A and B are shown apart, each in its own frame.
Chain A
Amino acid sequence: MNVLDQIRDYFAGNSHVFMANLKTHIWLSSFSMLAAILICVPLGIWISRQLKVANYIINAINIFRVIPSLAILALAMPLLGVGFAPAAVALTILACPPILINTYVAFREIDPAIKEAAKGMGMSSLQRIMKVEFPLALPVMLAGIRTASVEIIASATLAVLIGGGGLGNYIINGISMMSKSYLLIGAIPVALLAILSELIFSFLQRKSNYSN
């Protein structure tokens, strides 16, 4: 039986299992993504206003960012146990550096004259952030979110090692059983998910650019 027949066979009987794994993968990725955005965007904005400590924080994050994703995921197990929650925490931590750094850079690079003008028009500091700075910063922030999303989808494949579930199941089992069909059932959707999220976010990034 060739690989395509095996894959067709698998889907004929087990498409609900595949859908469940796909759903877990997407849910795990989007949950961690959302958590990372909710934590890092306000934090990034705050750092961009702290001239004195900003450099130290960004340097520390740049060093932290170098640690391999598998190491962070693996550390979650002794600290938090196995299952969805530890995987989600680890993925959220992994997504933080690109979002945080890009948010910081985006708010930092806004032309001071524009901020000054907004102040002159009598806008409060919250109004300035929401109505002037945020829209200007959005494209660069979205670039960070795009990087983070691809990283999360990739690392979510490894989440299965700490019991997080998802499409990584097929790859890990496929390697253990040396089953071509399992490997491909896992690999192709994961690759497509990553490419899809890259495309969606680069589209959003272009759309959000004011100068276009």
Chain B
Amino acid sequence: MKYLFDNLDLVMQHFWEHLQLTFSALGIALCIAIPLGFIAAKYRKLQMPITGVLGVIYTIPSMALYAALIPYTGLGVTTAMIGLVAYAQMILVRNVAAAINGIDPMMIEAAKGMGMSKWQIIFKIELPLAIPVVIAGIRIATVSIISIGTIAAWIGAGGLGRLIYQGLNHDHTGKIIAGTVSIAVLAIGADLLFRLIERIISPKTT
């Protein structure tokens, strides 16, 4: 613990690096996952192939995926990012599709009956109802990205994982503890934050 407090600046720098990596990966992942989840939900024929392929990618251990990518994309942030985005896809697409499929068809019918256009239905009915489930997916995806991001430090992505690897290599207990404690704080903090958002944003049922 002494190392952590003596080197708080350095640890915080790694912490921010990790946070940046996590949220940029999450942003890119969402840009792909939301349309993909929409397609999977709207076209039932495509649902099986999409979730199947993503499921296989998700099953491959991250270290193995990185090892397979390095010969082509090299060491560094690009490779790390590809892996992080790929793992998040499975979780996000599944939740986006579940969120849309979970909407009661009666509500859509009622909206149609009120004369809403197709886009109005998407933005005013489907999105607000789907968002809490999507947020749950984002929470799980964020936690996995934080976790896999730790591993990605080995391939030069930076972040808190670097402290852990340095500690392991140099048998430096202080660094190991500083790294593990701050990564645990980050992961648990992100989990709690998204749980809170989930609770606030859920439509109130009376």
A-B pairs with beta carbons under 8 A, tally: 120
Contact in complex: A168, B191 (CB < 8 Å): no
Chain A hits for B147, CB < 8 A = 68-70
Contact in complex: B71, A180 (CB < 8 Å): yes
Chain A hits for B56, CB < 8 A = 195
Q: Which of A63, A153, A155 contacts B191 (CB 8 A)?
A: A63
Answer whether A74 and B64 are a contact pair too, CB < 8 Å, given A3-B71, A158-B151, A195-B56: no
Which A residues between 75 and 97 are near B, CB-CB below 8 angstroms? 75, 77-78
Chain B hits for A184, CB < 8 A = 67-68, 71
**Complex Cα–Cα for A154 and B148 (A):** 11
A77 to chain B, nearest CB (A): 6
Which B residues between 28 and 86 are near A, CB-CB below 8 angstroms? 56, 59-68, 70-71, 75
Tell yes or no: B101 within 8 A of A by CB. no
Chain A hits for B154, CB < 8 A = 172, 175
Interface of B, helix, strand, loop or mixed by DSSP: helix
Query: What count of chain A residues pass the 8 Å CB interface test?
Result: 39
Interface of A, helix, strand, loop or mixed by DSSP: helix
Which B residues between 153 and 192 are near A, CB-CB below 8 angstroms? 154-155, 161, 164-165, 167-168, 171, 173, 176-177, 179-180, 183-184, 187-188, 190-192
B83 to chain A, nearest CB (A): 12
**A-B pairs with beta carbons under 8 Å apart, 6 shown:** A68-B150, A70-B151, A74-B164, A175-B70, A180-B71, A191-B60
Residues of A within 8 A of B (CB): 3, 63, 66-72, 74-75, 77-78, 150, 153-155, 157-158, 161-162, 168, 170-172, 174-175, 178, 180, 183-184, 186-188, 190-191, 194-195, 198
